[in-house]
Amino acid sequence: MSIKFSKEHEWINAANPEAAVVGITVHAQDALGDVVFVDLPAVGTSFQQGDVTGVVESVKAAADVYMPVTGEIVEVNEALRADPSLANTDPLHTGWFFKVKLADPSQLDGLMDETAYGDFTASH
């Protein structure tokens, strides 16, 4: 499965629906600038699609992090908590935010693929 993108600038890789990986997009981290703090959700917490799961603070602004799908947090990236700059240097890999157990995998169908997300960011 490929990575999917939300209109709120999160990405999700659901290759493993028991632990789909979520982070912010390159576009989002570019807009934020240097990330200095990341507030991550608690493991075991469940969220509905669109809920705020945390906050990213940068030298320029603070932004909410939204849940791209409904599910339960099964892991958070402690390395990111220790070094928030990972969200800037490698947002699609080592800078991931959390892993979620999908409650409804069909919600992935409502998210954008890479091409659609590129068109979306170019027009907004």
**What is the Cα 34 distance to its own chain's centre?**
17
- Residue 102 β-bridge partners: 71
Q: How far apart are the first and last CA of the chain?
A: 26
Q: Looking at residue 107, which CATH number applies to its domain?
A: 2.40.50.100
Residue 3: band (very low, low, confident or very high) from pLDDT cuts 50, 70, 90: very high
Residues present in the chain in total: 124
Residue 61: band (very low, low, confident or very high) from pLDDT cuts 50, 70, 90: very high
8-state DSSP, 110: G
Give pLDDT tens digits for 67-92.
999 999 999 999 999 999 999 999 99
Average pLDDT over residues 99-106: 97
Give pLDDT tens digits for 31-49.
999 999 999 999 999 999 9
Average pLDDT over residues 12-34: 95
Please state the φ and ψ torsions of residue 10, each to the nearest 5 degrees.
Answer: -105, 155
**CA nearest to 22, candidates 96, 111, 73, 75:** 96
pTM: 0.96
Give how many domains the chain has, as a whole number: 1
Q: Above 90 in pLDDT, residue 124?
A: no
**pLDDT confidence of residue 2:** 80
**Mean of pLDDT over the chain:** 96
**CA nearest to 99, candidates 74, 70, 69:** 74
What is the residue range of 114's domain? 4-123
> CA separation (Å) from 118 to 10, 42, 94, 109?
13, 31, 22, 17
